[in-house]
Structure formats: structure tokens, C-alpha cells
């Protein structure tokens, strides 16, 4: 059974909440928001998603190693330059992370496609409604296209946060939504 664990925070560092084998799922300079997945921790054959704590927001700077590595309780996972994106990024803000409020997040990592084929209509449009069972997108993982469907209450799409062909990580926001 997979479960989520929250990373420990010590100043500007995210630290391991328990010993295991850690594999980061974010790249350097990725904006880390509260609740974002930062990697995976395998403990005795069980894998847990490691989430950023609720009181953290900043740009990630990778830990001691880019690959998977053994960690003990309290070992460094990721350094985070705290603050808002406007204070830490001199280029234009990244639209995919500039949204607050209700968002639909990627259930897994993969390449995002918002339409079944380039000549067909998009699954989701700005101003359109999402109802349970509606297709949100396709996520390509290892040449396999996985249909992602919506299962929440009826909502309206206010913004598309990724473009066709963008690579997304599990937990990245895909759509900004508002309740109907």
C-alpha cells in the first residue's frame, strides 16, 4: 500500500522523515509549493511519496546526489530557497505554479496531451465544465498513453496550466478550477 509522508523542515532544507531509499522527482530550480511531491522514499519494499510541508514555498536546489540514495532519519533530501517565485526568479514567472486555489493535479508523471490527436478538439477548454467521468488529458508514460479522468464535483476550468507535449511530474497542477 502506498502512502504519503511529509518531509521534515530544518531552516531551508527538506529532510528525510524516516530512513529508506530516496529518489527525487523534482529538478533543480523547480518551484516547490505546500503539498507538492518532491520524491519517493522506499522502506523495506514499500514506497511512499514524500510531500513538501504546508508551511514551505521556494525554489528547489538538489541535495547531495541527483540519483537515488540511502537516507537516514533527518538526512538532507532537498535544499529550498524560501520565498515567493517573484522574489527568487528574475525571469517571467512559471504559469504552471502561479495559481492558487482549486487546481487539478497530475496523478502521475508523463508527457501531457490535451487532445486525442492533433486535429481533434481538446478534452478540456477554458470556461468549460468538468463533470465526473470526463477525460482531462492523456499522459504518455514509456510510449503508453494513459487516459486521465475527472472524479470530483462539477467545476469550471479557468486556466490551462500546461501545453501539449509538456513533461509533468506527479502532483504538478494541470488545470485551474472554480466551483460551480
Q: What is the pLDDT of residues 56-76, one digit of tens each?
A: 777 777 765 657 888 888 888
- Of the ranges 76-80, 135-139, 176-180, which is most confident? 135-139
Last residue of a domain, one of 41, 61, 88: 88
Query: Same domain, yes or no, for 33 and 100?
Result: no
**pLDDT tens-digit map of 81-98:** 765 333 333 333 334 344
Does one domain contain both 124 and 171? yes
Where a domain ends, among 67, 88, 109? 88
Give the chain's mean pLDDT: 80
72 and 105 belong to one structural domain: no
Give the domain CATH number at 119. 2.40.50.100
Residues 120 and 74 in one domain: no
Same domain, 84 and 100: no
Closest CA to 167 of 102, 95, 113, 87: 113
Question: For the whole model, what pTM was predicted?
Answer: 0.48
pLDDT of residue 122: 94
pLDDT at residue number 85? 34
Provide the domain count of the chain: 2
Rounded to whole angstroms, the Cα distance separating 119 from 54 reads 41
Same-domain pairing of 66 and 123: no
Cα-Cα-Cα-Cα dihedral sign, residues 165, 114, 59, 10:
negative
Are residues 80 and 31 located together in one domain of the fold? yes
The mean pLDDT of 4-31, rounded to a whole number, is: 81
Q: 169 and 143 in one domain?
A: yes
DSSP 105-150: E-SS-EEEESSSSTTSPPS--TT-EE-TT-EEEEEEETTEEEEEE-
Same domain, 66 and 110: no
Q: Which domain holds residue 119?
A: 95-179
Alpha-carbon dihedral sign for residues 59, 64, 66, 67: negative
Last residue of a domain, one of 53, 88, 123: 88
How far is residue 114's CA from residue 84's CA, in Å, rounded to a whole number? 29
The arithmetic mean of pLDDT across residues 136-161, rounded, is 91
Task: Please choose, from the candidates 165, 111, 104, the residue with its C-alpha nearest in 3D space to the C-alpha of residue 136.
Answer: 104
Instruction: Verify that 18 and 77 share a domain, yes or no.
Output: yes
Same-domain pairing of 20 and 41: yes
Amino acid at each position: 500500500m502506498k502512502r504519503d509522508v511529509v518531509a521534515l523542515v530544518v531552516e531551508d532544507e527538506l529532510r528525510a522523515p524516516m530512513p529508506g531509499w530516496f529518489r527525487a522527482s523534482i529538478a533543480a530550480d523547480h518551484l516547490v509549493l505546500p503539498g507538492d511531491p518532491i520524491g519517493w522514499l522506499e522502506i523495506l519494499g514499500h514506497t511512499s511519496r514524500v510531500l513538501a510541508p504546508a508551511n514551505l514555498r521556494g525554489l528547489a536546489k538538489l541535495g547531495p546526489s541527483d540519483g537515488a540514495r540511502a537516507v537516514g532519519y533527518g538526512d538532507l533530501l532537498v535544499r529550498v530557497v524560501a520565498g515567493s517565485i517573484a522574489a527568487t526568479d528574475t525571469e517571467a514567472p512559471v504559469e504552471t505554479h502561479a495559481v492558487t486555489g482549486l487546481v487539478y493535479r497530475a496523478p502521475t508523471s508523463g508527457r501531457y496531451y490535451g487532445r486525442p490527436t492533433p486535429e481533434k478538439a481538446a478534452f478540456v477548454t477554458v470556461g468549460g465544465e468538468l463533470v465526473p467521468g470526463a477525460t482531462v488529458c492523456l499522459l504518455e508514460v514509456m510510449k503508453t498513453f494513459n487516459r486521465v479522468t475527472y472524479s470530483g464535483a462539477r467545476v469550471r476550468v479557468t486556466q490551462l496550466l500546461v501545453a501539449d507535449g509538456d513533461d509533468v511530474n506527479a502532483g504538478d497542477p494541470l488545470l485551474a478550477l472554480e466551483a460551480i
